[in-house]
């Protein structure tokens, strides 16, 4: 009798577990990205997936051809002409770059290469990024695209050149 009651109680709990995990694993944010002329060039979407990893999706057009650094910055503000109002990278307690001890920043993403068409579509997995705590915090966060490539080692931002695009994240 006791074994039957235990099995019934355990079975009753099973359907509730996946639902609870799904409810907390769908934090989402998106940014409308503008270039230095203030023209919208697309969106960046962040989704915390059930695995606990954040999916970063970039859909931008037109973007200058070449290799560009893309980062997530600590302040949700694109008001300065050079986008410096977005502050530095979302750093946590880490150093910049994957080629250094104590790296990377949660806001570091891989370089992207844009062809002659100017269209950029890319997906990245970022297990170090927490949307609620780092993106949708009190001062928000921004997406930044740089003119050049990130060298993945120079402090504090990878020697990637000027900021050429910016977008402020909002909750979805």
CATH code, domain carrying 160: 2.60.40.200
Is 5 inside a domain boundary? Answer: no
Question: Strands across the sheet with 142-146, in order?
Answer: 70-73, 142-146, 163-171, 28-35, 40-48, 54-60, 120-126
- Diameter of the chain by CA atoms? 74
pLDDT band at 91 (very low <50, low <70, confident <90, very high): very high
Is 136 inside a domain boundary? Answer: yes
What average pLDDT does this structure show over 28-53? 97
pLDDT above 60 (res 58): yes
pLDDT of residue 79: 98
Question: In the chain, how many domains are there?
Answer: 1
Are 70 and 112 a contacting pair, CB within 8 Å? yes
Is 17 inside a domain boundary? Answer: no
Q: Which helix (H) or strand (E) holds 60?
A: strand 54-60
pLDDT of residue 10: 39
Is 1 inside a domain boundary? Answer: no
For the chain, what percent of residues have pLDDT higher than 70?
85
pLDDT in tens, 103-125: 999 999 999 999 999 999 999 99
pLDDT of residue 15: 38
pLDDT of residue 43: 98
For residue 167, what are the domain limits?
Answer: 26-171
**β-sheet bridge partners, residue 31:** 44, 169
pLDDT of residue 146: 98
Is 19 inside a domain boundary? Answer: no
Is 156 inside a domain boundary? Answer: yes
pLDDT above 70 (res 14): no
Question: Is pTM, for the whole model, over 0.95?
Answer: no
pLDDT band at 26 (very low <50, low <70, confident <90, very high): confident
């Amino acid at each position: 009798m006791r074994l039957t009651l235990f099995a019934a109680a355990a079975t009753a709990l099973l359907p509730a577990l996946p639902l609870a995990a799904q409810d907390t694993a769908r934090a989402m944010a998106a940014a409308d990205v503008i270039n230095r002329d203030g023209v919208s060039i697309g969106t960046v979407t962040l989704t915390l997936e059930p695995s606990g990893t954040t999916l970063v999706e970039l859909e931008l057009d037109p973007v200058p051809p070449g290799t560009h650094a893309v980062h997530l910055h600590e302040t949700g503000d694109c008001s300065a002409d050079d986008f410096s109002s977005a502050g530095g990278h979302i750093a946590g307690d880490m150093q910049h770059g994957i080629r250094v001890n104590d790296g990377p920043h949660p806001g570091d993403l891989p370089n992207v290469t844009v062809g002659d068409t100017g269209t950029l579509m890319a997906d990245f997995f970022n297990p170090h990024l927490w949307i609620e705590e780092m993106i949708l915090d009190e001062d928000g966060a921004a997406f930044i695209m740089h003119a050049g490539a990130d060298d993945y080692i120079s402090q504090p931002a990878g020697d990637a050149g000027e900021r050429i695009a910016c977008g402020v994240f909002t909750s979805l």
